[in-house]
Structure 1
Amino acid sequence: MILAQVLLYSIRKPLSNFANARMKKSADFLRDVITVFCMVTLSQTVYGQEACTTPSNTPGVCVLANACPSIFKILMSSIRTREETQLLQSSIVSCPQSGDTKACCEKPSKSLPPYLVVCKRNDPQINKCIENSIKEMGVRMAIGDSDNGVKQVEPIFVSRFIDGIYLPMENMVLYMQNVTFTGLSNYRVSNARLIGNEKKIMYDAYYEQLQIKSKIRLERPGMRRMQFAGMMLTGDIVGNYSANAKFTLTYKIIKRGDTEYMEFTTVKINFDIHQSNIKLYVMNSEVSLSENDNYLAALTPEIEKSFANTYLNAANEFISQYTYNQLLPES
């Protein structure tokens, strides 16, 4: 920071004191250099600094006043507006002072991960771009990336019991517990579209091989468990299936201070499950479930709900780190 203070001191005089236009240009250039220097210094020193809230009510850190680009710009102004003076004063009083003057400075925007495909709102091929972006992020969300705030969504857990699925071909009632799904990264995306005026993103996905695992209990229908304990069987269910899914995501634009951010409000998924290969393992025996049984129809609402909740939470956790213009710039 010594270099920044020396350079800052060298240009404190108003620009009107410079003798000619060449010197004015040199001062402008020097000012730009110092601004960049301050931004780099800020990005390197925000960690470990005391947290604060900026006058615009956004998260910030306490740094030397001349190391914050927005405050530095005000300090360099020969004429300050009333609003600028109030901003400067509010930024300074937000931080404890000891020695050099400190100000509350907004944290620099976090850089987007390199694998995120950024789509521009005015791009005539934006729907194709969104397809590519969804595909890349879907793979990352399946495996997770803690360094960039991408929460791992696989395996997906069904949070409650699935009770009373009647299997007519076996004349048994199936109860499921601790149901998990994997294979989420193996999918194709198509027909993606952004409906900007409705703040909605829609796309189709085809999952080639989803895997399911669960603890199960089988009972004969109409039997009282205590009297007919021998008719109750426990075991596991494992298998895989392919599925088509239609996704509809709605979002809204929220503000933190003067900065816009994106937030998903709902995720709706409609699954069409087919080509299943589900097996029950009960008492050291393997039983294949008939596709004529209605277990898929009974499972589908739970699958849709679990997938939607998991993706909604993970997506919002990720995008909350970045501004709206970072994620979906206008041009």
Structure 2
Amino acid sequence: MRSAVLCLVAALALVSVVDSRRLPSYVKVCKRTDKNLNKCLMDAVATIRPYLLKGIPEFKIPPYDPLEIPVVTLTQGTGAVSYNATFRNLKAYGARDAIVKDVKIDLEDLKLEFDLLFPRMHLESDYDVDGKVLVVPVKGNGPSNANFTNTETNIKLYGKFETKEGKKYISLKEREVSLSIGDARLYFGNLFNGNKELGDSTNQFFNDNWRDIVKEIQPVVEETISTIIHEIVRKVFELYTFDELLPES
């Protein structure tokens, strides 16, 4: 008898936890039949944006400024640029200043698209590189940082429906990102085993030719930005059903 009572109490507790899961009151809910669905989503993103700075426990979303990425590896084997580069302990600052310019959703293909502007981004990491950039040999390891201004970004997230316990959820599968950087300043410390003259001249060369250099490290920036958006959306989709997020009526 006692075990039966305990089981009943446990079941009621579980039901109360499930039933208590509600979208936060400050989240604007958009109906998927709304003719102005994209506009509604833009307003919803604008409403929730200030809360992202401190993190949203209800969505299991930690603060995203700075964003920390353990490691990014880049390899280029041919042409004027060839190198092996690893960036560890990457920290990215600037998400708090991001401007959401547009949000679109395609419910047939389950595609969510964002157009963002990052007025300023600052990246810090420990790097290790060995190779050639244009005509300049590059070798070193140590601290690095980069400052980017007016970075225009387009991110596409693709998903599919999955059923869990009889309820429909959206699961993210793929992502695409493209960006355009307005300006950049780069610095790599301890190049050529700390040779100051070679290090200074190489950093100067990088900044004089930053557009060519940024093409090579752009995957690091793209991975950083897409990770921010992907992880935020993924966690929301994992917690709430399709009908909770986008009710029919």
- Fold match by TM threshold 0.5: yes
Partner of 2:209: 292
Report the Cα distance in structure 1 between the residues aligned to 2:54 and 2:35, rounded to whole angstroms.
32
Relative to structure 1, the CA distance from residue 204 to residue 155 in structure 2 (aligned partners, 3 Å threshold; closer, same or farther) is: same
Give secondary structure in 2 for the equivalent of 1:117: coil
- What amino acid maps onto 2:248 in structure 1? E
Task: Give the corresponding residue for 2:135.
Answer: none
Give the aligned length.
Answer: 226
Aligned to 2:33: 122
Q: Distance in 1 between matches of 2:77 and 2:171?
A: 37
One-letter identity of the residue aligned with 1:185: R
How many angstroms does 1:96 deviate by?
Answer: 4.7
1:102, distance to aligned residue in structure 2 (A): 6.1
Instruction: Structure 1 unaligned segments of length 5 or more: list them.
Output: 1-94, 222-230
Amino acid of the residue matched to residue 238 of structure 1?
A: N
Q: Say yes or no: does 1:302 pair with 2:212.
A: no
1:254 aligns with 2:162: yes
Q: Map residues 209-228 of structure 1 onto 2, 5 A cutoff.
A: 209-217=120-128, 221=132
1:195 alignment partner in structure 2: 106
Q: 1:185 aligns with which of 68, 91, 96?
A: 96
The structural deviation recorded for 1:211 is 0.7
> CA distance change for structure 1 residues 122 and 219 in 2, over 3 Å: closer, same or farther?
closer
**CA drift at 1:220:** 7.6
Unaligned runs of 5+ in 2: 133-137
User: Which of the residues 42, 45, 48 maps onto 1:131?
Assistant: 42
Q: CA RMSD in A?
A: 3.6
Bigger relative contact order, structure 1 or 2 (CA pairs below 8 A, ≥6 apart): 2
More strand per residue: 2
Deviation at 1:290, TM superposition (A): 2.2
What is the 5 A alignment of 1:1-150? 96-98=3-5, 104=11, 106=15, 107-150=18-61
3-state DSSP of counterpart to 1:305 = helix
1:40 counterpart residue number? none
Change (3 A) 1:280 1:325: same
Match 2:234 to one of 316, 323, 326: 316
1:238-294 deviations in whole A, cap 9, x for unaligned? 231131111112223322223333332223211222311223444578644325242
Shift of 1:165: 9.8
CA distance in structure 2 between the partners assigned to 1:261 and 1:187 by the alignment: 28
CA contact (8 A) 2:170 2:238 kept: yes
> Is the 2:126–2:144 Cα contact (8 Å) retained in structure 1?
yes
**Is the partner of 1:276 in helix, strand or coil?**
strand
Q: Residue 151 of structure 1 contacts residue 318 of structure 1 at CA under 8 Å; is this kept in 2?
A: no
Deviation at 1:207, TM superposition (A): 0.8
Which whole-Å deviations, capped at 9, do the CAs of 1:105-163 have from their partners, x for residues lacking one? 54205121233222111222221121233344455445422354223343242623345
- SS of the equivalent of 1:118 reads coil
The alpha-carbon deviation at position 184 of structure 1 amounts to 1.2
